[in-house]
Chain A
């Protein structure tokens, strides 16, 4: 379980950390399990905490930044593209 989650999150842990995370996760799950005591038949899951709906925007062009600014935070770039380690091996 811990290993699967770590893989999905692309994180690496040592054994000690794994143990710690495992007990944390167990505590979280048992905390949430309290909900099982309730009868939730016919109760829709609460997906959003706010009551707001339909916050929409018109189809307008605005808010883009310059390429220079856009690339500023990229660890590696060539002034045009963001560069990342090769995804496809040849």
Chain B
């Protein structure tokens, strides 16, 4: 069907991020994804009468940290409220949430799409506890409840309806996830549900200022699926309008296999959650000193690092972008350049051999067997001409990965990888080559300079790859001058 008008898609996101605390928001149960069901529960989690919740200080720190990194205004007078509703995986019959009084207000996240930077405004970031898990398909007669997750600290990051396309949605989620991981407040693992995303989407005719009726798509489990869901849903909404149908406010879910969204429930009248301040929890007041301390604990974020890499360290924009994509990679790179000032070489090692090893072994940088200092030593060996880059990366590196405690230079000697760069060992080989190719030498002398590479190649062959090409080149030139 040909679309008659031009439409604009308006998207706002609600992202739940599980905080990387050791224990729950209001009690000391461990946060343990994948643990045996109902093994991390306390009387508080189980909502037994007479129990008293107590706030986890670390969770508050994490929420404020994210807020500061997103340029939010931090609310100093805070309290938790009860959001009342019944569901079997919510033992208390209410969720403790800051829904009505978020700890962080406003702020923004910058995204870049097709080279254009945009600030996506945030409405708020608030804290709340997670519910337990309901498993509907394990048993024919019952729903099975696992309360390990109940009480896990979450922050909900709510954007303003500022996003306009699937690509922007993708960029926003990627930035948000990167930020959470840089700050070390959430592991960003969408498969395990530590980062979950709901999309609010509506479409309107271009030029229209009022928002169209919105549809909410729940629980998108990957950034890619969030992007696809926006593509699919905006098309569905536009088609409905073109056919003259009325859009109803709904909650839908995205079926990734079939690439369609399915209605879960209509949302005609607003739910009545009867929020009120939880009398079991004291208010919490944030002092300037506390906020400043958190502000100072924020590590250099990607943008700041790129500035340093391209400026002070003279790396390309592209390399800097790649190196800072993950904080752990950037940290490792920065640890290497503590020991060498050859920034370009360090960057090449990170984006080349190190990255390949991580990809091939499906590992994160923290599992890389070599210390940053050893990588710096490899760089120095190559720089000093003792080792060619290719034997360092394809032969010495794999050896060191097997023997992480070995000393790189000694290992290179032991493995017989050190380049021959002293004239005395190279000269006999050069003489041999020049004698053998006397005709070519004549050609060279007549001006056919290209044959030089043939001589270099032959010397390399005779040295079994250990001749230093640069020194060989120089020695050859000298001999040929004679």
A8 in contact with B274 given A57-B56, A65-B43, A82-B145 (CB within 8 Å): yes
Task: Judge if B143 is at the interface, Cβ distance under 8 Å.
Answer: yes
In the complex, are the beta carbons of B284 and A83 less than 8 A apart? no
Task: Judge if B283 is at the interface, Cβ distance under 8 Å.
Answer: yes
A26 CB to closest chain B CB, in angstroms? 19
Task: Judge if A42 is at the interface, Cβ distance under 8 Å.
Answer: no
Most chain A CB within 10 A, of B39, B59, B60, is at B39
A59 and B227 CA atoms in complex are apart in Å by 36
Task: Judge if B30 is at the interface, Cβ distance under 8 Å.
Answer: yes
Chain B residues lying within 8 Å of A34, measured Cβ to Cβ, are none
A13 and B370 CA atoms in complex are apart in Å by 71
Chain A residues lying within 8 Å of B21, measured Cβ to Cβ, are 59
Task: Judge if B277 is at the interface, Cβ distance under 8 Å.
Answer: yes
Q: Which of A61-90 contact B (CB under 8 A)?
A: 61-67, 70-71, 73, 76, 78, 80-88
A88 in contact with B143 given A50-B282, A59-B23, A61-B30 (CB within 8 Å): yes
A59 in contact with B144 given A47-B79, A64-B41, A71-B38 (CB within 8 Å): no
Contact with B along A25-63 (1 / 0, CB 8 A): 000000000000000000000011110111111111111
A70 and B44 CA atoms in complex are apart in Å by 11
A71 and B59 CA atoms in complex are apart in Å by 28
Contact with A along B2-44 (1 / 0, CB 8 A): 0000000000000000000111000111100000111111111
For residue B39, which residue of chain A has the nearest CB?
A67
In the complex, are the beta carbons of B42 and A63 less than 8 A apart? yes
Task: Judge if A10 is at the interface, Cβ distance under 8 Å.
Answer: yes
Task: Judge if B146 is at the interface, Cβ distance under 8 Å.
Answer: yes
A50 CB to closest chain B CB, in angstroms? 7
In the complex, are the beta carbons of B136 and A56 less than 8 A apart? no
Q: Which of B338-390 contact A (CB under 8 A)?
A: none
For residue A62, which residue of chain B has the nearest CB?
B28
Chain B residues lying within 8 Å of A60, measured Cβ to Cβ, are 22-23, 28
A61 and B58 CA atoms in complex are apart in Å by 13
Task: Judge if B141 is at the interface, Cβ distance under 8 Å.
Answer: yes
B294 CB to closest chain A CB, in angstroms? 14
Chain A residues lying within 8 Å of B285, measured Cβ to Cβ, are 53-54
A56 in contact with B54 given A48-B79, A81-B135, A81-B146 (CB within 8 Å): yes
Partner of A84, one of B56, B143, B282, B284: B143
For residue B88, which residue of chain A has the nearest CB?
A84
A4 and B271 CA atoms in complex are apart in Å by 12
Task: Judge if B272 is at the interface, Cβ distance under 8 Å.
Answer: yes
Task: Judge if B304 is at the interface, Cβ distance under 8 Å.
Answer: no
Interface of B is mostly: loop
Partner of B55, one of A48, A55, A66, A85: A55
Chain B residues lying within 8 Å of A56, measured Cβ to Cβ, are 54-57, 60, 284
Chain A residues lying within 8 Å of B43, measured Cβ to Cβ, are 63, 65
A88 and B268 CA atoms in complex are apart in Å by 20
A73 and B30 CA atoms in complex are apart in Å by 21
Chain B residues lying within 8 Å of A82, measured Cβ to Cβ, are 38, 88, 144-147
B1 CB to closest chain A CB, in angstroms? 35
In the complex, are the beta carbons of A70 and B38 less than 8 A apart? yes
B218 CB to closest chain A CB, in angstroms? 14
Chain B residues lying within 8 Å of A73, measured Cβ to Cβ, are 46, 48
Chain B residues lying within 8 Å of A84, measured Cβ to Cβ, are 88, 142-143, 145
In the complex, are the beta carbons of A87 and B88 less than 8 A apart? yes
A38 and B46 CA atoms in complex are apart in Å by 42
Chain B residues lying within 8 Å of A76, measured Cβ to Cβ, are 142
For residue B20, which residue of chain A has the nearest CB?
A59
Partner of B28, one of A57, A71, A78: A57
A83 in contact with B282 given A60-B28, A61-B22 (CB within 8 Å): no
Chain A residues lying within 8 Å of B146, measured Cβ to Cβ, are 81-82
Task: Judge if B437 is at the interface, Cβ distance under 8 Å.
Answer: no
In the complex, are the beta carbons of B42 and A65 less than 8 A apart? yes
A77 and B28 CA atoms in complex are apart in Å by 24
A80 in contact with B30 given A47-B79, A55-B55 (CB within 8 Å): no
A12 CB to closest chain B CB, in angstroms? 14
Please name 17 pairs of A and B residues whose Cβ atoms are closer than 8 Å in the assembled complex, sorted by A. Answer: A47-B283, A49-B279, A50-B282, A53-B284, A56-B284, A57-B54, A57-B56, A58-B57, A58-B58, A59-B58, A60-B23, A65-B41, A66-B39, A81-B139, A81-B145, A81-B146, A82-B144
Residues on B lying within 8 angstroms of A by beta carbon are 21-23, 27-30, 36-44, 46, 48, 54-60, 79, 84, 86-88, 134-136, 138-139, 141-147, 272, 274, 277, 279, 281-285
With A55-B55, A81-B38, A83-B143 known, 14 other A-B pairs at CB within 8 A are A48-B277, A53-B283, A56-B284, A57-B28, A59-B22, A59-B59, A63-B29, A63-B43, A66-B39, A70-B46, A78-B139, A82-B145, A83-B142, A86-B136
What 7 pairs between A and B have smallest CB-CB spacing?
Answer: A59-B58, A81-B144, A83-B142, A47-B277, A62-B28, A63-B28, A82-B145
